[in-house]
Amino acid sequence: MRNPIYSIALLGIVLASVAGAFAMWSETLMINAEVNTGEVDVAFTDWMCSDTGPDPQIPNSQFHNEEGKDVASCNVDVEILDEEGDVIKLLVTVDNAYPGYNVQVYMNISNIGTIPVKLYSSSIDGVNTTALAVGLLTPQDTQLHPGDTHTYTLDIAVLQDAAENGSYTFEVTLVFAQWNEVP
């Protein structure tokens, strides 16, 4: 049989230990965090065709326009705006073209977002290569910082095998991505 005084003393020690633990002073620190992301946003901000007078001809070819004829025309119009009202698709219309006609469309692309961007990819799809030669000239360094603008040039040449009264369509796509994801 145990000594009751021993049991009471043991109980007293346990209670004193527990009471000391509850009497410990403490302070808790917390952090509230908010992360706001930026925006990748580019748009066409200006454009024009090189045909503003006598019809331009394919350079270094048998075609010429010494007489200064103004037969064909090139127009650029807005085709699609995004939900913010930014121009994201242009419609280039070349009318009354003929073999030898060569026009450039100059397009200013601006970074209207908050994140630097680079050209990730570009494509020209649907070109009838027997009738047209189409090329896209891009800046050597395609990185655009917020507020910066680069000029891209679309070159369209009508070739000898183009059909009289023919109609040709193609689509140019430019994809921009945040700068740190483009090699």
CA distance 168 to 176: 27
What is the per-residue pLDDT across 67-115, written as a single tens digit (0 to 9) for each?
Answer: 999 999 999 999 999 999 999 999 999 999 999 999 999 999 999 999 9
Distance CA 70, CA 66 (A): 11
Q: Which fold has domain 42-181?
A: Immunoglobulin-like (2.60.40)
Give the residue extent of every domain in the chain.
42-181
Report whether 57 contacts 100 (CB < 8 A).
Answer: yes
pTM (two decimals): 0.83
d(CA 70, CA 99): 14
pLDDT per position as a tens digit, 52-72:
999 999 999 999 999 999 999
For the stretch 139-183, pLDDT in tens is 999 999 999 999 999 999 999 999 999 999 999 999 999 999 998
Cα torsion 94, 100, 106, 107: sign: positive
